[in-house]
Structure 1
Amino acid sequence: MKIDSHIIFEIHRLSDLGYKQRKIARQLGISRPTVRKYLENPKRERANLPGRPSKLDPYRDLIHQMLEKDPDVSAPVVLQHLTAKGFDGKVTIVRDYLRKQRGQKAFGQAFLRIESEPAEQFQIDWGHFGHITYGETRRKLYALAVVESFSRMIYVEFTHSQKQEVLHQCLLHAFSFFGGTAKQIVVDNMLTAVTERQGNLIRFNGHFLEFLRPFKITPVACHVRAAHEKGKIESAIKYLRYNFLPLRSFVDIVDANLQVRDWLHQVANVRLHQGTGCRPIDRFDQVQLRPLPSLLPDCRETSQVKVYKDFAVRFDANTYTTPPWVVGKLVTVKADSTTVSVYLNQKRVAVHQRSWERKKRIELPDHRDQVKKLQQKLWHDKNVAAFSSMGQPAVAYLKGLLESKQPIRKTVAKLLALKDQYGSASVLYAISKAAFFNAYGAEYIENILYQEMTPKNHHPPVQLKNEALNNIRLNEPCLADYDAYIVKRGQTDG
């Protein structure tokens, strides 16, 4: 078998760079004797010696047809088809033959290693690394790896998402880790970077370009199914998977990133790199990256949401509380891997530790205390006091309104208007009936009164010029207090 001229060229190029024969063989996927032969004589060919006949000889054409249909077809599948045609051999001989055929094909697709200049290029890629469990919630675990191509210096960050904002956050952290940016950034065809590709025509993701613009980085997209074009990051992901991950467990995403950062400093970036023969951290001394801009972009996940009656916002399947005075307003939620912040008109009004569980309420004690103070303040409101004076059913109904997060002042004003229209007794009856069905709101009381009661004759009072006097409401007198007073006075007189 004659080795392709590209392989011979690569053998001599690597030898000129000082590579040992063992390393050249491992790099090119060939044997050390083969390396030695072609170093001694680049034009040397193996003699075409007659070989022993093989059981597979009558089936070679059939095997080649199967390989053309599926180059990665497994040996057991090939054996099934051969057996149907009368082959009586074992899977071992089939597996050995497939290995040889795929080895020959690999020689025909040899790629030359292209070395980058210092600070010329970053390569990036995602890897999937299982999941982390939070309570009853499982979150997928991803890692974005970034490598500076000349030095092989690596940065890694674990995330629970590959969303656009998360990609930008990780890249921003990587640029800070390296202390600057390269001229180019090499990506595969992930949708967060490349939205459309037709041959050599590439349309990059607009958000990705907007993120890169202040850093003056040129994106470069690999061809489809051309992993060799970003071989350095492919090797980094593989190295992360087989050197860092085994025998490790993570409490949460913070723990995972602390462990990988320690691994980068103590192992990955201080090891002797097989490709360069140097430690990445030492070669990185030759790299002069472009400085970062003075104003860095805010890459947090961002969404606009409404603050609900329970003084909380919904984000990523959880609720996070806010001060109660923000209820009903449209706010902006910004989140990274550790915190969730709430902004009103660019002013931060709340910040929480991010929860990676789902369907949880994350509440600050201060927010709950503010709600209690507002509720206590409500009891001193003149209309609330007037409504409460109607008796215990009214007080109990008020508490139900508070627990159901109803607008108290607006609801009480409506209920007092219904009292003027139907009378205290009718309103108390409707309140008791609504409370029995846990129906809290002025509309329920109004509906009961409309269906079951008749408005009493209403004679509006004389309207005074001073509007404040027209709005005065007197508390309902408690007749039980008068009865107790009469009984007590009678006992004293007797």
Structure 2
Amino acid sequence: MHENAFRFYGGMSIEIVYDQDRLLAVSENAGDLIMTVEFTKYQQTRKFKVYLCRKSDPESKGKIEQVVKYVKNNFAKNRTFDNLLDWQESSMSWLKRTGNYKVHHNIKKRPVEVFALEKPHLQPVSGTYIFEDILGTSITRTINKDNVIRFDGNRYSVPRGTYRKGAPNIAYVETDTEYLYIRLQQNGQPLAKHKIAQGSGAVISEPSHREREQPKRDLLIQQIKEMLTDKQAASWLIEILSDQYPRHIVDQLKVVQSVILKHPSFIDEALSEMKRLRLTSANDLRDIAITLEIHSRKKHKETGIANEKYKELVAPERREDIYFSVLQGGANQ
């Protein structure tokens, strides 16, 4: 798909925006993205920047969903075709006469004219690259406005706020003999778990899904400030993380909180070292704390080995009158 797009556009943009997909991203990792091995190889070969949209965040996705909706309703809806080649030819004709030629309502310009101005800024693409076929099958359901999904004639709840206006609002569902599991990512952690209902027309809801959450960001900031003894350093850390990771600040704060709980004896030194080295990620703080703890263990172990060398030595014992005579001699002098 990438290669076809690059050939069609006649080049490649410096940065490409992606919605989250299991073929691309393994984890947001609090802003330090971890991508799949296959996509990382491709990205490093083509050397473009990746902008990964956050989960259920319509503001980061722009108007792309409206573009897809426009193509579906204006071109694809009620259109018949015999084969993919016929479909491709029809779509190209539609783009020339309508999709790219019609004046856009908001910008009052034709897309084909705007693209002509932007095309010279595209990066050249040389050679070809073949992706491995790693697509798998999955069952998806739409998340409705009332934060429920429909499955086998029944409705199952998901946590409050899962539905986002303008977002894809797609959930992956999986069942075993007794339970239904709902995920936002196909290989992600279950968002909800329900016992499968018998019959149809039932609404299966978890009470906790209706509760309002406290603002996570403010709560985490308050907890971290209370956990750190150096309040000035705590304020510096929160400020630097907020500036560096505005879209992933909650994830970064969670990493900081985890480091404090796992390495309480080394957190102050790790924070001081992070500030000295001018690092800006909670993952750096975690790595420093782990390193300090490892070095501390090695040092303790080496001290123990050194003391073992003298364990066979026994201090000689002397009679008390010997010490008295020495002291008296010293007094006479």
Superposition TM-score tier, normalisation by shorter sequence: 0.3 to 0.5
More relative contact order in 1 or in 2 (CA 8 Å, sep 6+)? Answer: 2
Normalized per residue, the structure richer in strand is: 1
TM-score of the two chains, using structure 1 as the length reference: 0.25
TM-score of the two chains, using structure 2 as the length reference: 0.37
Which has more radius of gyration?
1
